[in-house]
Structure 1
Amino acid sequence: MLKPWVAALSATLLMQTVGTFLSQAVPVVAPLMTAELGVRPEAIGNFASVNTLGAILFLLFGTPLVARYGPLRMLQAGALLGSLALLAAAAGIVWMLPFAALLMGIGYGPTGPAGSRILQATAPPRHRVLIFSVKQAGAPAGGALAGLVAAPVAAAYGWQAALLTAILVALACAALIQPLRPQLDAEREPGQSLRQAFTPRRLAAPVNVLRMHRVLPPLTLQAFAFAALQGSLFAFTVTWLVEAHGMGLAAAGSLFAAMQVAGVAGRLVLGWAADRLGDATRSLAIHGLVAAGLSALWVMFGPGAHWAVGLLLAVATGFTAASWNGIFLAEVARVAPPDRVAEASSGAILLCFLGYLSAPSAFAWAVTTTGSWTLPYFVACGLLAVVSLIVFALRAGREADSR
């Protein structure tokens, strides 16, 4: 039998990758999909926002499901729901797309609280941040998989074929982790009442999370700004490269994949660095300033530059702008009471998901209103830079007060 933390990390990493692969498959094939369905290209931002709304609904009401059925079972259920969502999207009926997006988000929702519950119970304390970051590396890995698999399949065989390919991958992975269920779901609570899901206490979970520890308000503010920038990059990069710069879908997908692969490396390297630094709040403040600057450089110069320069800027952006999540979740799990890790993770992720929810729709509105794709990107970069400076100043002030 695998060591508990090895089994836990393997399963959560795989399903995090699968969840993101399913979620990013639609943005990757969006140029072909929106053209065939007769909707504006930037409307993919609304799909991304509704997707996030579904995840938020799970985070609000779904934590008792994790306790009752077990975190691994909920990861499997999420993959199944995401597959059903892509099947609905592949039908090619415009009015079904919001339903598909909402269902996709609900399916993605368990990856955070279920993954945190599994890892917090098994991760060696001295490597906690790194292990959480490895698990969260599954998010950009899934995005890279979408860019490398879904884009070429869509270009060769059509966008519906790409979505069906993603469904087959997800269902196979959900079946693959089934043998680990007795080991990783051993502490589930079959008697957990599902009525707890729909109480005022659950609706107040985000506010209650902020009261658990003084580090959580600035940390969550930082996560919101990171999510706004990352959500904009993930939702629009392929469509922006195709529509505004005339790039082919396969080429745009390869740059998107390079950005995602760099995010995998970033989560590993920066997670290790955060463990060494021992101060997640300061680490993320510095991290945010660098990510905002490099993302702005990518938007200004990446698509029009020589291919090698564009690739370098895409990699630098992915390395910094898509590598914060594991540090954030590990710090939330560290400061939360041991018996409230899943609840704290749900509430904290919910608050940062407001960035994923608002940014893509605001981005789409800005493109429609101004005709500019670069202006919304610069706003997202500026927001992260300003918030990072504020968080850094608050951290420095707290240090000064403690002396």
Structure 2
Amino acid sequence: MDQTVQTGSGRWQVHIVFVLIATTFVGAVSAASGYLVPALAVATKETLGVSAAFIGYQVTLVFGVGGLSSLIAGGIVGRFGPCRVLQAGLTLSGAGCLLYAVPNTIVVTAGSVLIGFCYGMSHPASSVLLSRFGSQERLNFLFSFRQSSTALGAVIAGILGPVLASILVWQWAFYGLAIFSILLAIAINHLRPHWDDQADPKTPISAPWAGLRLIILNRKLLTLCLTGFCLSVVQVGVLAFLVLFVVEDVGFTMTQGGLALSLINILAVGSRIFWGWQADRTRNSLVVVTAMGALTTLTVLVFSAADSQWPQWLVFCTMSVLGLATFGWSGIVIANVVRRADQDKIAETMGGTLGFFFSGAWVGPSVGSLILQFTGSFSYVFMFLALMAFIATVMAGFVALRND
């Protein structure tokens, strides 16, 4: 991973190590803005005088708009360049955080929309940079490392957000992230000559659905994206219901529930990097995704049986396995999509791919909430998530068997 980039330039701005760290850092800042919304849900609810459902809708809005923005960003990277798209995303994040701090439900909703746009824009741009400057033999690790930014952003939001809220007021967490996002957008401007040198103002902006069309017309790409959709349902579904489940059914305190959520996210960072590294050591990286899917299916089923009779060490051990198994898939799936995609259409293809992923992030909590409403049991919710993990395992295994 320490090779000089293929362009022949030894400039540090295009060295893959710097590109990887920079895109991961930008992704973590972008993700933190989205995860601040649920992290400060209680304080926001009390200030606005709204129900918990209103905050839940804001979280859904962030993910929904994120999926839409990934489709749009995929079509504009070619014209403006990946660095300019990253700058635009950070600027939208800053504006969204400022709006979200205003104690008005309409303005807060507008802030959620802008935060969602930022959340989805960074992925297609980063994918173009990593595929351009990175080694093909290290794509699983590169994309997995980059994808760890989502979990890292969640950890940052979950730790720093409540701390700032307790020292000052909750709005200052959004103010601080807004200022930092805008300053970061300005700071990376000097990278444009190196990152956006292939941008062409005459490049037509492809339609938002262009990436989806490319995927639907390619059976293997479609199977990979559906695998990612199912695993995204499981991943976000676990995050959405974990704290409620361990507090209401397992007997944890709210503090212990928060600790459990932090543990899952911290393990998610490490698991993505580990599984990405392992996938590059394996001749067929999708075998790794298949194994993770099978382990996730089994672990979710075991976790669904947890109750107040379980010792806490066993609950935490099960959650640890869940964190290691459930969150490492995205970088490997993305790397496989990039390998099979038209190299001139990577941004569009990644936009469509992220559309599938974000749709799964929306479906997981939504369907899970409906199941919980009709059955009143978290066990049925986790059974649904286990079923989705099993379907993903079968699809990943199918593509792995036809490795070409």
TM-score computed with the length of structure 2 as normaliser: 0.86
Deviates more, 1:220-229 or 1:347-356: 347-356
Q: Distance in 2 between matches of 1:63 and 1:86?
A: 24
Equivalence map 1:188-227=2 (5 Å): 188-193=199-204, 196-197=205-206, 199=207, 202-212=208-218, 214-227=219-232
2:34 aligns with one of 18, 23, 26: 23
Does 2:71 match 1:60? yes
Say whether 1:41 aligns with 2:52: yes
Q: Which amino acid aligns with 1:15?
A: V
Q: Residues 253 and 73 of structure 1: is their aligned pair in 2 closer, same or farther, counting only changes over 3 Å? A: farther
SS of the residue 1:137 aligns to: helix
Q: Distance in 1 between matches of 2:312 and 2:22?
A: 36
Query: 1:302·1:311 contact (CA, 8 Å) conserved in 2?
Result: no
Q: Distance in 2 between matches of 1:111 and 1:101?
A: 16
Contact 2:151 2:266 survives alignment (8 Å): yes
More displaced 10-residue stretch of structure 1: 154-163 or 228-237:
154-163
Structure-1-length-normalised TM-score: 0.86
Measured at CA, do residues 292 and 156 of structure 1 come closer, stay the same or move farther in structure 2, by a change above 3 Å? farther
Partner Cα separation in structure 2 for residue 51 and residue 365 of structure 1: 20
- CA shift at 1:391, angstroms? 4.2
2:32 is paired with a residue of what secondary structure?
helix
What's the CA shift string for 1:8-46, capped at 9, x where partnerless? 112211111111111111112223333554444355443
- Is 1:301 the counterpart of 2:312 in the alignment? no
1:54 offset after TM fit, Å? 1.2
- Counterpart CA distance in 2 for 1:43 and 1:250 is 23
**Aligned partner of 2:289: which letter?**
L
How do residues 365-376 of structure 1 correspond to structure 2 at under 5 angstroms? 365-376=370-381
Judging changes above 3 Å, is the alpha-carbon distance between structure 1 residues 18 and 241 closer, same or farther for their aligned structure 2 residues? farther
Q: CA separation in 2, counterparts of 1:305 and 1:35?
A: 34
User: Which deviates more from structure 2 when the two are superposed, residues 367-376 or residues 203-212?
Assistant: 367-376
1:34 and 1:379, CA in 2 relative to 1: closer, same or farther beyond 3 A? farther
Match of residue 82, structure 2, among 71, 80, 85: 71
- Note closer, same or farther for the CA distance 1:236–1:33 as it changes in structure 2 (3 Å cut): farther
1:102 aligns with 2:113: yes
Cα separation, partners in 2 of 1:125 and 1:393, compared to 1, 3 Å = closer
State the match for 2:397 in structure 1. Answer: 392
Alignment of 1:241-390 (within 5 A): 251-301=256-306, 306-390=311-395
Match of 1:129 among 140, 154, 164: 140
Deviation at 1:86, TM superposition (A): 2.4
Structure-1 residue corresponding to 2:104: 93
Asked if the contact 1:155–1:250 (Cα under 8 Å) also holds between the matched residues in 2, the reply is no
Residue identity matched to 2:112: A
Amino acid at match of 1:73: R
- Asked if 1 retains the 8 angstrom alpha-carbon contact of 2:78 and 2:203, the reply is yes
**Distance between the aligned counterparts of 2:85 and 2:160, measured in 1?**
26
Q: Matched residues in 1 for 2:50 and 2:371: separation? A: 16
Residue range with higher mean Cα deviation, 295-304 or 259-268: 295-304
What SS does the aligned partner of 1:177 have?
Answer: helix
Stretch moving more, 108-117 or 297-306 = 297-306
Change (3 A) 1:318 1:154: farther
What amino acid maps onto 2:97 in structure 1?
A: L
Segment drifting more, 227-236 vs 66-75: 227-236
Tell which deviates more after alignment, 167-176 or 349-358: 167-176
State the SS of the aligned residue for 2:175.
helix
Q: Of the candidates 171, 174, 180, which is equivalent to residue 191 of structure 2? A: 180
Partner of 2:198, secondary structure, is coil
In the alignment, the residues of structure 2 paired with residue 60 and residue 377 of structure 1 have an alpha-carbon distance, to the nearest angstrom, of 30
Confirm or deny: 8 A CA contact 1:26 1:163 kept in the other structure: no
CA distance, structure 1, for counterparts of residue 38 and residue 176 of structure 2: 15
2:40 partner SS: helix
Deviations 1:123-173 (A, max 9, x none): 012212111111111111111112221233335544323333333443343
Give the aligned residue type for 1:203.
Answer: W
Cα contact 2:75–2:347 (8 A) shared by 1:
no
| Cα deviation, residue 309, structure 1 | 4.0
Any conservation in 2 of the 1:259–1:316 contact (CA below 8 Å)? no
* Compared CA separation, residues 281 and 386, structure 1 to 2 (3 A): same
One-letter amino acid of the counterpart of residue 207, structure 1: R
Against the structure 1 CA distance between its residues 363 and 159, is the aligned structure 2 distance closer, same or farther, given a 3 Å change threshold? farther
Given that residues 300 and 322 in structure 2 are in contact (C-alpha distance below 8 angstroms), is that contact kept between their aligned partners in structure 1? yes
Give CA-to-partner distance per residue, 1:323-364, whole Å, 9 cap, x none. 211101111111112111111111122123221122222333
Which residue identity lines up with residue 33 of structure 2 in the other structure?
Answer: L
* CA pair 243-333 structure 1, distance change in 2 beyond 3 A: same
Distance 1:294 1:157, change over 3 A: farther
Residues 31, 232 of structure 1: CA spacing in aligned structure 2 closer, same or farther, 3 A cutoff? Answer: farther
CA distance, structure 2, for counterparts of residue 355 and residue 232 of structure 1: 9
Q: Give the Å deviation of 1:268.
A: 1.0
Q: Does 1:159 align with 2:170?
A: yes
Query: 5+ unaligned residues in a row in structure 2: which ranges?
Result: 1-10
Q: For structure 1, which segment, 258-267 or 42-51, has the greater mean C-alpha deviation from structure 2 after superposition?
A: 42-51
User: Partner of 1:171 in structure 2?
Assistant: 182
Measured at CA, do residues 188 and 356 of structure 1 come closer, stay the same or move farther in structure 2, by a change above 3 Å?
Answer: same
